[in-house]
């Protein structure tokens, strides 16, 4: 029978003490504010929008269209279309949090 050392147990307990990401963080990314997001180059902006859709669990493989469509409480909302012709709405908060608001039905 093998014996587990107290040091190994302490290391394992320390590793378990960090909280796991919650479901609320899924589908969120972070840029340095909504104002900076709007000034990103198209490639970078598309990457942030793509990650928001993918992190929310949707199977988007490529963004084929993106457009700023409205504001929600002062936050820009972007409509994203993926290669499968599905639309998604992504909101960029003032603090830079990027979140998938909904899958748009158009």
% of the chain surpassing 90 pLDDT: 38
Q: Which tens digits make up the pLDDT trace of 11-41?
A: 444 544 444 443 344 445 555 477 788 888 9
pTM comes to 0.65
How far apart are alpha carbons 56 and 67 in whole angstroms?
Answer: 19
Quote the domain boundaries for residue 78.
23-104
Establish if 6 belongs to a structural domain.
no
Q: Which residue has the higher pLDDT, 20 or 57?
A: 57
Mean pLDDT throughout 74-102?
90
Establish if 5 belongs to a structural domain.
no
Establish if 47 belongs to a structural domain.
yes
Q: Which tens digits make up the pLDDT trace of 66-76?
A: 999 988 888 89
Total domain count, the chain:
1
Establish if 34 belongs to a structural domain.
yes
What does the angle CA 79 – CA 23 – CA 16 come to, to the nearest 5 degrees? 145
């Amino acid at each position: 029978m093998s014996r587990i050392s107290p040091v190994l147990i302490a290391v394992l307990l320390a590793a378990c003490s960090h909280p796991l990401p919650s479901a609320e963080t899924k589908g969120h990314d972070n840029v340095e504010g909504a104002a900076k997001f709007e000034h990103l180059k198209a490639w970078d902006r598309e990457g942030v929008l793509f990650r928001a859709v993918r992190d929310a669990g949707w199977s988007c493989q490529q963004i084929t269209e993106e457009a700023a469509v409205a504001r929600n409480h002062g936050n820009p909302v972007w409509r994203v279309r993926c290669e499968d012709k599905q639309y998604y709405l992504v909101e960029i908060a003032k603090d830079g949090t990027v979140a998938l608001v909904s899958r748009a039905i158009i």
